[in-house]
Amino acid sequence: MIFKNKTLFAVLGLGFALAACGGGNKAQNNPPQQGAAPIQAANATQILNVSYDVMRDFYKEFNPLFIKHYQAQGKQVDIQQSHGGSSKQALSVANGLKADVVTMNQSSDIELLEKKGLVSKDWQQKLPNHAVPFTSTTVFLVRKGNPKNIKNWADLTQPDVKLVIANPKTSGNGRYTFLAAYGYALKENANNHDAAKVFTQKLFANAVVLEAGGRGATTSFIERKMGDALITFENEANLAAQTFGKGEFEIVYPSYSIAMESPVAVVNGVADKKGTAQIAHDYLAHLWSDEAQELAAKLYLRPSKAEILAKHAARFPKVETFRANDVFGSWDEIMKTHFADGGVFDQINKR
């Protein structure tokens, strides 16, 4: 077994399972997951943060920081967490899960809630940097010594390379993987979409599993020892390499990858009715505090504050990235063209 801390991973795995199966109002009654803050006082105001699965580790540390910040103002807050595949989480909120805030990995998941009237239309203007407190990028996690000599995207299409990937139909992590590979292929083939489809089809043909979410993919690669490479976010790859199996893995940065943005928003359709809108806003605004940005850097999320990112430059190798919207259009267009039933992903996915 790779793990030296089996208990930690087991708890994280249990948290993932609970989050993945939660849906509707009933999910609120689940016990607090790993990372949820304990109730501070009988009169504490409770808020629920519905987030994507690989962010559980960040919020496990961020929530106590915010609680301390709020206590200094003479206020009490109890923060509950729910984690799972980003789009599944958004659908749970759309279907009734009473989230006060959502912290996702692509804006389309928040735009879904905007269309449902749950999130205000100007949500991106209510917080700095279009409501994106930090970013990441897609990288490869390989086993010690990199036995398959994986250096770039093209190496992932070799017949003897087995991949572990999150499912683009259910996970933002998986969608970023698909778009990163497709974008790389476009760049290498003079923007030829036919060639990009062929390349991406070869890559996904090597997937031994398409997990529902990014943390599930990490579990399969590390604990179940599936595949030669895990394609995932930089922060998740570093967490796996540094915490779950130190010395057992290496991170490979491709020459060209995608910039993952993590937008956040208050769910006004819930928070206004509960009277928690101000606390919810303050909770998200604290993500731009120096202590939260430092925490992001510690956990290998790229801070949006330039001075803090520069301070930790050694943790973040330079990699040429592109924004999904700059190459593929709006997230509405991306979801319809690439990930709706019969879209580009379905066309290339021959599993």
Q: How far is it, in rounded angstroms, from Cα 131 to Cα 100?
A: 16
**Residue range 218-226: average pLDDT?**
94
pLDDT score of 174 more than 90: yes
**274 or 16, higher pLDDT:** 274
pLDDT score of 15 more than 70: no
**Buried b or exposed e, range 83-102, using 16+ CB within 10 angstroms:** bbbbbbbbbbbeeebbbbbb
Instruction: Go through the domains of the chain in sequence order and give each one's CATH number.
Output: 6-133+262-313 (3.40.190.10), 135-260+323-348 (3.40.190.10)
CB-CB contact of 231 with 163 (8 Å): yes
CB-CB contact of 7 with 227 (8 Å): no
Provide, rounded to the nearest whole percent, the portion of the chain with pLDDT above 70. Answer: 88
pLDDT score of 90 more than 90: yes
Write down the pLDDT at residue 38.
45
| Band of residue 87 on the pLDDT scale cut at 50, 70, 90 | confident
* Residue 330 main-chain phi, psi, to 5 deg: -65, 160
**Residue range 265-291: average pLDDT?**
98
* Interior angle at CA 318, CA 309 and CA 327, nearest 5: 100
Question: What is the β-pairing status of strands 207-211 and 163-166?
Answer: parallel
Write down the pLDDT at residue 246.
76
**Which amino acid, 63?**
N
**Which amino acid, 104?**
M
